[in-house]
């Protein structure tokens, strides 16, 4: 059987596994219109479906941290089992008709995804010390395009929403199998220490990890709310149009392209972070994404071409910095607690996303897309301030081999 024997091969296969496994995350967002028609799920409940995944993810990550499951079970096995279970619960969207039942199913799906994303970061960290920013950036790029893949499936199967659900589940199962059977543990992998709340509190009392967490929270405030609602915004701007006859829905295709450009930007940003520094790259990305968030929703729909261009820039910049916060946390923390710190950072960040995802449609309904998206710009403003402060501290020399 094919096995990853070098770190480059490991990066390719972990990225592929992440891309495939994360396809179930936004599966219901891609088919929101169909769910509204066929299952009588209103727009507010569509938001709850996404929030349920986010909160389920938080529950899953914190459960893994508290029970030390990532040390009791091999990380790759944990990833594979979690991906398969997430895929199976994703399929429940098809037979279930009750909105509360579907919300519950999405929560469980999110909980299992908690055993996918953080373990994948840990596997990559075991293969890389130098170049870890690029590696995690590439992996997050794979996560990005995987998260957007339901929109691609939707653009292809525009008349069959069930195919989107089934297709995303098949992709997730495939991803789990790749990481379990093709990837091996890296030479820099470390056995995590037992979950220690005192270490966590002590680490967050230090300026470096605390500022890295603050930057990540600002980033997360914007990211997932943008991802959750950019498809609806594209429909608002573009309408229901097809690229080829009656097939290949244009709005869904453009939404997928927003995610795809983010995947490319994430990898490039990871490479640049090794050259000019993590705080520099993350600050530049947040200034761009926050600037777009502040203006794009106020533009009249008639300026659709310009809006689409800005959406593509937003899609690239909104995720470009993501991996750098996680990489910074691994560089500022005790290696034995790398998994704990990544899991905690990720869990708290995703808990915050539930708030912005919930607020955005409320602000949109009361004040329009402009103020709804402008609200998201608050996150990058806070995140940029945190990263620039971190850059000024002596601890920042631990980042990117001193590049900061």
**Residue 100 has what pLDDT?**
92
Total domains in the fold of the chain: 1
Give me the mean pLDDT over the 193-220 stretch.
75
Query: Does 27 reside within a domain?
Result: yes
Query: Does 124 reside within a domain?
Result: yes
- Distance (Å, whole) CA 122 – CA 112: 16
**Residue 141 has what pLDDT?**
82
Q: What is the mean pLDDT of the chain?
A: 85
Give me the mean pLDDT over the 326-332 stretch.
78
Q: Using 50, 70 and 90 to split pLDDT, how confident is the model at 278? A: confident
Q: Write the CA distances from 206 to 239, 330, 364, integer angstroms.
A: 49, 14, 38
The more confidently predicted of residues 63 and 72 is 63
**Residue 318 has what pLDDT?**
95
pLDDT at 95 over 90: yes
Instruction: Report pLDDT digits (tens) over 226-277.
Output: 998 999 999 999 887 766 656 677 888 899 899 999 988 988 887 787 788 8
pLDDT at 367 over 90: yes
Q: Using 50, 70 and 90 to split pLDDT, how confident is the model at 329? A: confident
Residues 6 or more apart from 40 whose CB is under 8 A from it?
Answer: 99
**Residue 385 has what pLDDT?**
94
- Distance (Å, whole) CA 122 – CA 109: 21
- Distance (Å, whole) CA 375 – CA 345: 23
Query: Does 332 reside within a domain?
Result: yes
Q: Using 50, 70 and 90 to split pLDDT, how confident is the model at 39? A: confident
Each residue of 263-287: b (16+ CB within 10 Å) or e?
A: bbbbbbbbebbbeebbbbbbbbbbe
Q: What is the 3-state secondary structure (H, E, C) of 347-386?
A: HHHHHHHHHHHHHHHHHHHHHCHHHHHHHHCHHHHHHHHH
The continuous run of DSSP H or E covering 141 comes out as helix 132-156
Structural domain boundaries enclosing 158: 7-184+194-399
Give me the mean pLDDT over the 46-62 stretch.
89
Give me the mean pLDDT over the 343-355 stretch.
85
The more confidently predicted of residues 324 and 364 is 364
Query: Does 234 reside within a domain?
Result: yes
* Beta-bridge partners for 129: 131
Query: Does 2 reside within a domain?
Result: no
The more confidently predicted of residues 351 and 136 is 351
- The Cβ of residue 42 has, within 10 Å, a number of other Cβ atoms equal to 11
- Distance (Å, whole) CA 29 – CA 47: 9
- 377 SS3 class: coil
Residues 26 and 50 sit within 8 Å (Cβ to Cβ):
yes
- Distance (Å, whole) CA 84 – CA 309: 36
**Residue 273 has what pLDDT?**
78
pLDDT at 109 over 70: yes
Query: Does 292 reside within a domain?
Result: yes
For residue 375 the two structure tokens come to 């609200």
In which region does residue 287 sit, left (phi positive, over 0), alpha (psi from -120 to 50) or beta (all else)?
Answer: alpha
Least confident of 36-40, 130-134, 137-141, 201-205: 201-205
Instruction: Report pLDDT digits (tens) over 139-195.
Output: 888 878 888 888 888 878 777 889 999 999 999 999 999 999 988 877 766 555 555
Positive or negative CA dihedral for 175, 106, 362, 31?
positive
Residues 53 and 47 sit within 8 Å (Cβ to Cβ):
no
Give me the mean pLDDT over the 299-315 stretch.
95
CATH of the domain at 372: 1.20.1250.20
Give me the mean pLDDT over the 315-327 stretch.
87
Residues 158 and 248 sit within 8 Å (Cβ to Cβ):
yes
> Of 95-104, 126-135, 180-189, 333-342, which has the strongest mean pLDDT?
95-104
**Chain Cα centroid distance, residue 300:** 29
pLDDT at 397 over 90: no
- The Cβ of residue 34 has, within 10 Å, a number of other Cβ atoms equal to 18
Give me the mean pLDDT over the 67-72 stretch.
71
């Amino acid at each position: 059987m094919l096995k990853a024997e070098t770190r480059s091969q490991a990066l390719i296969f972990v990225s592929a596994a992440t891309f495939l496994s994360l396809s179930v995350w936004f599966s219901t967002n891609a088919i929101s219109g169909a769910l509204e028609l066929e299952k009588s799920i209103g727009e507010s409940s569509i938001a709850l479906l996404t929030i349920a995944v986010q909160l389920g993810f938080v529950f899953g990550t914190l459960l893994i941290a508290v029970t030390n499951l990532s040390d009791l079970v091999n990380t790759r096995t944990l990833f594979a089992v979690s991906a398969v279970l997430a895929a199976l619960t994703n399929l429940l969207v098809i037979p279930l008709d009750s909105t509360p039942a579907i919300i519950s199913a999405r929560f469980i799906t999110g909980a299992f995804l908690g055993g996918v994303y953080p373990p994948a970061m840990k596997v990559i960290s075991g293969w890389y010390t130098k170049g870890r920013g690029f590696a995690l950036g590439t992996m997050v790029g794979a996560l990005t395009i995987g998260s957007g893949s339901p929109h691609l499936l939707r653009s292809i199967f525009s008349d069959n929403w069930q195919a989107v659900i089934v297709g995303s589940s098949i992709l997730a199962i495939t991803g789990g199998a790749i990481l379990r059977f093709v990837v091996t543990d890296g030479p820099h992998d470390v056995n995590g220490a037992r979950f220690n709340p005192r270490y966590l509190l002590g680490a967050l009392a230090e300026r470096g990890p605390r500022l890295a967490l603050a930057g990540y929270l600002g980033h997360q405030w914007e990211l997932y709310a943008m991802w959750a609602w950019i498809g609806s915004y594209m429909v608002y701007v573009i309408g229901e149009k097809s690229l080829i006859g009656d097939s290949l829905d244009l709005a869904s295709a453009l939404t997928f392209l927003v995610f795809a450009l983010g995947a490319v930007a994430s990898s490039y940003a990871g490479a640049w972070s090794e050259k000019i520094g993590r705080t520099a790259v993350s600050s530049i990305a947040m200034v761009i994404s926050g600037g777009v968030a502040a203006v794009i929703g106020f533009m009249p729909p008639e300026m659709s071409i310009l809006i689409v261009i800005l959406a593509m820039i937003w899609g690239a910049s909104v995720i470009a910095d993501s991996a750098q916060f996680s990489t910074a946390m691994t560089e500022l923390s005790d290696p034995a607690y790398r998994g704990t710190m990544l899991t905690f950072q990720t869990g708290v960040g995703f808990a915050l996303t539930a708030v912005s995802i919930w607020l955005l449609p409320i602000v949109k309904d009361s004040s329009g897309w402009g103020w709804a998206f402008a609200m998201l710009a608050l996150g990058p403003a806070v995140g940029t301030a945190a990263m620039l402060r971190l850059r000024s501290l002596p601890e920042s020399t631990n980042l990117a081999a001193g590049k900061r």
